């Protein structure tokens, strides 16, 4: 009898399901979008994951973008080990917080002060509170399909098109928590302008993923971010870049440097700590000084600035500073992968949309261009499900959802990229052979 290559993962999931809701500690880890049981990882090294059944995978998740240099990066691991011997948490200031803050401020444009927190969700919800406190206004604008963590005010369903009535997207979120969250369409300045016209003196901030990564990788259209900057300045609202995915990934200075657009506040996630639980929000001094203990906007956290995360982050940013060719190199890898994937789809005459920005990339089984949440939803999730499991069997770990960006690490080799391209050809050829024709959007010609 043929051994199940995921047997140990399957058994672990059955145990986890009896102790942890849904068997996972974050819904994105579940395989709900693709079917089956999640893979349980035993270790990661460089570009590779090793699961509980000793299967090896080329990793295109990289802790959802946090691992720019791949798993178990030597200088980060060494710094964590050394710090752990001295203590893991004090709840008292350390010099390492100052060192990482200096590296952060020097790297990120238009930033004078930074507050470290413990997650991207904490960073975004704190930035919103700060924006409201600074402006004295209550309403915020977010974009349909952009995810900013699980704070109540962000969990809003958009329905179709523009809506000014927030509808909770999760049980347990009261109507009042989202009543001041206004929804606009990503890449539509008209939808944002309309909201400002309706509420000219009530909007505290616009928060946006400069590159959307939670409806797949979706780039801002030409002039979109610049237009947001102009509207925010015109109506005296703050522009918040949620850089939990793009920060230190698109460029040393993040999306502000990459797109040359100035934000008033920026939020970052675990990439700041080399993959450890950490986040940050930052901006000009006159805004950031509204935070307690200087100002009236309260934000606190016992583990904020914990020494393990600070030591790892210092090594992460020092390596970025030292490696001048880093972003050119990883961009080249992404471009190589994109061209290789396109050539396979063209060879097999399968229509697909591939989006990429920097080291973020995703594919949509859709013949149309994907520019926002509505067009992303037009992609065929059924075909992606088959593709995902096929690639998993070929040793390629992709995000287990058609609406998540892939992230490349610098640890990927030419051989890894070539294997990914060839695996794609093998999987698609198998789907065609088995007459998998789930999507009307696809043009299967064989």
Task: Identify the CA nearest to 243 among candidates 283, 203, 204, 276.
Answer: 283
Band (162; pLDDT cuts 50, 70, 90): very low
Give pLDDT, residue 177: 84
pLDDT digits (tens, 9 = 90+) for 397-415: 999 999 999 999 999 999 9
pLDDT digits (tens, 9 = 90+) for 415-431: 999 999 999 999 999 99
- Strand-pair category, 139-143 with 203-208: parallel
Give pLDDT, residue 445: 34
What order do you get walking across the sheet with 396-397 strand by strand? 41-45, 48-51, 56-59, 396-397
Band (158; pLDDT cuts 50, 70, 90): very low
Cis peptide before 293, with omega less than 30 degrees from 0?
yes
- Locate 215 and state its tokens: 């409806």
Alpha helices in 164-288 (DSSP H): 175-178, 189-198, 224-234, 254-259, 285-288
- Catalytic residues, by residue number, are 147, 242, 270
- CATH class as words, domain 74-322: alpha beta
What residue ranges do the domains of the chain occupy?
Answer: 7-60+325-433, 74-322
Is residue 438 predicted with pLDDT exceeding 70? no
Is residue 39 predicted with pLDDT exceeding 90? yes
**pLDDT, mean over the chain:** 93
* CA–CA gap between residue 321 and residue 323 (Å, rounded): 6
The partner residues of 353 in beta bridges, in order of sequence, read 364
- Strand-pair category, 181-184 with 203-208: unpaired
Mean pLDDT of 210-238: 97
Residue 250, class by beta-carbon neighbours within 10 Å (0-12 exposed, 13-18 middle, 19+ buried)? buried
pLDDT digits (tens, 9 = 90+) for 260-311: 999 999 999 999 998 999 999 999 999 999 999 999 999 999 999 999 999 9
7-60+325-433 fold = 3.90.1150
Mean pLDDT of 108-118: 98
Residues with Cβ within 8 Å of 263's Cβ and at least 6 positions away in sequence, in order, are 110, 229, 239, 240, 241, 255, 256, 283
* CA–CA gap between residue 97 and residue 236 (Å, rounded): 32
pLDDT digits (tens, 9 = 90+) for 355-392: 999 999 999 998 889 999 999 999 999 999 999 999 99
Is residue 437 predicted with pLDDT exceeding 70? no
């Amino acid at each position: 009898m043929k051994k199940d290559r995921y047997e140990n993962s399957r058994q672990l999931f059955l145990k986890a399901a009896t102790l942890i809701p849904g068997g996972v500690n974050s819904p994105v880890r579940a395989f709900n979008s693709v079917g089956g049981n999640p893979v349980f990882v035993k270790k990661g090294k460089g570009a590779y994951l090793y699961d509980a059944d000793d299967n090896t995978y080329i990793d295109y998740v990289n802790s959802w973008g946090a691992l720019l240099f791949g798993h178990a990066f030597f200088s980060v691991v060494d710094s964590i080990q050394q710090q752990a011997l001295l203590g893991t948490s004090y709840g008292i200031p350390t010099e390492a917080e100052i060192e990482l803050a200096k590296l952060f401020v020097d790297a990120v444009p238009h930033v004078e002060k930074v507050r470290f927190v413990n997650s991207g969700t904490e960073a975004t919800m704190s930035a919103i509170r700060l924006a409201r406190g600074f402006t004295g206004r209550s309403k915020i604008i977010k974009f349909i399909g952009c995810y900013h963590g699980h704070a109540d005010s962000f969990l809003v369903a958009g329905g179709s098109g523009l809506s000014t009535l927030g509808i909770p997207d999760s049980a347990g979120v009261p109507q009042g928590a989202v009543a001041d969250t206004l929804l606009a369409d990503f890449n539509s300045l008209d939808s944002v302008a309309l909201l400002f016209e309706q509420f000219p003196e009530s909007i505290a901030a616009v928060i946006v993923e400069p590159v959307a990564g939670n409806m797949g990788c979706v780039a801002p259209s030409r002039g979109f971010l610049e237009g947001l900057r102009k509207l925010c300045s015109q109506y005296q609202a703050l522009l918040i870049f949620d850089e939990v995915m793009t920060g230190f990934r698109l460029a040393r200075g993040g999306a502000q440097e990459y797109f040359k657009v100035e934000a008033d506040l920026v939020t970052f996630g675990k990439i700041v700590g080399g993959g450890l639980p950490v986040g940050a929000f930052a901006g000009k001094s006159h805004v950031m000084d509204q935070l307690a203990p200087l100002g009236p906007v309260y934000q606190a956290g016992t583990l904020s600035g914990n020494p393990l995360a600070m030591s790892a982050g210092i090594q992460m940013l020092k390596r970025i500073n030292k490696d001048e060719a880093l972003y050119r190199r990883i961009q080249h890898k992404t471009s190589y992968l994109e061209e290789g994937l396109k050539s396979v789809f063209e060879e097999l005459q399968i229509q697909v949309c591939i989006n990429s920005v920097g080291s973020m990339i995703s594919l949509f089984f859709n013949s149309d261009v994907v520019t926002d949440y509505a067009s992303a939803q037009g992609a065929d999730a059924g075909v992606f499900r088959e593709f995902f499991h096929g690639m998993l069997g070929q040793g390629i770990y992709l995000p287990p959802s058609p609406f998540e960006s892939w992230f490349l690490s610098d640890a990927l080799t030419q051989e890894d990229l070539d294997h990914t391209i060839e695996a794609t050809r093998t999987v698609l050829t198998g789907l065609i052979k088995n007459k998998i024709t789930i999507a009307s959007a696809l043009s299967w010609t064989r």
